[in-house]
Amino acid sequence: MEASRKRPAPSQQQIQQQQSVQNRNRNAKRRKMADKILPQRIRELVPESQAYMDLLAFEHKLDQTIMRKRVDIQEALKRPMKQKRKLRLYISNTFNPAKPDAEDSEGSIACWELRVEGKLLDDPGKMKRKFSSFFKSLVIELDKDLYGPDNHLVEWHRTPTTQETDGFQVKRPGDVNVRCTLLLMLDYQPPQFKLDPRLARLLGIHTQTRSSIIQALWQYVKTNKLQDSHDKEYINCDKYFQQIFDGPRLKFSEIPQRLTNLLLPPDPIVINHIISVDANDQKKTACYDIDVEVEDPLKAQMSSFLLSTANQQEIASLDNKVRAPLLSQE
């Protein structure tokens, strides 16, 4: 698997700085717009100047439309923009039988090597993500009867200094088939949580982000008219809310804290696999498709649009060329 270095996306600070510059430019443009309006005397002397004034009015409308679109994009960038994709997981192994005449001790012992790799299906991007970047942790449980309580677990956990990799390998001595279990924890960004079973049944949500869970709670409150009609700050709990939140009433401001004990880590992806050492077993690769979320490519384009100042000088030059002949009549 090949991986290329990605160009870093514009940071929120860069976008805010650019927005500040654009606001100053917008104010300057308003002043320039007033300067562009032709005096009445010129309009009377040059009948064609009305076409210029019509273009000026159209430019103003276009500027307003672009400004509104920029605000829409800025708001959209504050929210996560994700796409559902399929990550194909490849689990394979090789087996090296013992060689009695081997000169080194390593070759004289039978061993197997397990590989766990993967790639995104139908990935249009040229920049390939490393396989490990999709996961928070990976645990491989080998048969404890074969490898004992101290050598049957292989674990990888993400840290702040993790170097991403295209796959994982495990090598162990052995000449018999080995049962193993893979536990893969996806690295959700933003983090997702599994709901308490009672809350999950009530909202119809199994695993979701904290903000989405709070939004679903608020929707349930509105649908069932649980907001107190006199004191809007309070929720009058129905029988389901009373069971979950243990009380007849609660404040809206209490919900985030009350949720803490009702949110659990997401379930890992569990795959049971057999490491085959049979020389006649030609099918030593298993494939699994799992759902993952990736950044929407549109987000980078939207950020670039906000940061773009291309063609500004060209537009200013054309403005001056259009206006110069008319002003020469003064």
Query: Is 206 found in the same domain as 227?
Result: yes
Q: What is the pLDDT of residue 297?
A: 64
Query: Is 236 found in the same domain as 259?
Result: yes
In a domain, 5, yes or no: no
Per-residue pLDDT of 71-117, as tens digits, reads: 777 776 666 667 888 999 999 999 988 877 766 666 678 899 999 99
In a domain, 6, yes or no: no
Query: Is 178 found in the same domain as 200?
Result: no
In a domain, 55, yes or no: yes
The boundaries of the domain holding residue 211 are 193-264
In a domain, 20, yes or no: yes
Query: Is 321 found in the same domain as 272?
Result: no
Quick check: 43 and 53 in contact, CB under 8 A? yes
Output the pTM of the full model. Answer: 0.67
Residues of the chain with pLDDT under 50: 1-8, 31
In a domain, 229, yes or no: yes
Query: Is 176 found in the same domain as 130?
Result: yes
Query: Is 76 found in the same domain as 90?
Result: no
Query: Is 158 found in the same domain as 99?
Result: yes
**3-state secondary structure at position 67:** helix
For residue 193 the two structure tokens come to: 């949580």
Query: Is 158 found in the same domain as 114?
Result: yes
Query: Is 219 found in the same domain as 93?
Result: no
CATH number for the domain harbouring residue 174: 2.60.40.1970
Our count of domains for the chain comes to 3
CA 89 to each of CA 134, 189, 269, 289: distance values in angstroms, whole numbers, following the listed order: 11, 20, 11, 6
Q: What is the pLDDT of residue 50?
A: 77
Query: Is 304 found in the same domain as 291?
Result: no
| 133 DSSP 8-state letter | G
CATH number for the domain harbouring residue 208: 1.10.245.10
In a domain, 96, yes or no: yes
For residue 170 the two structure tokens come to: 């495990």
Query: Is 144 found in the same domain as 97?
Result: yes
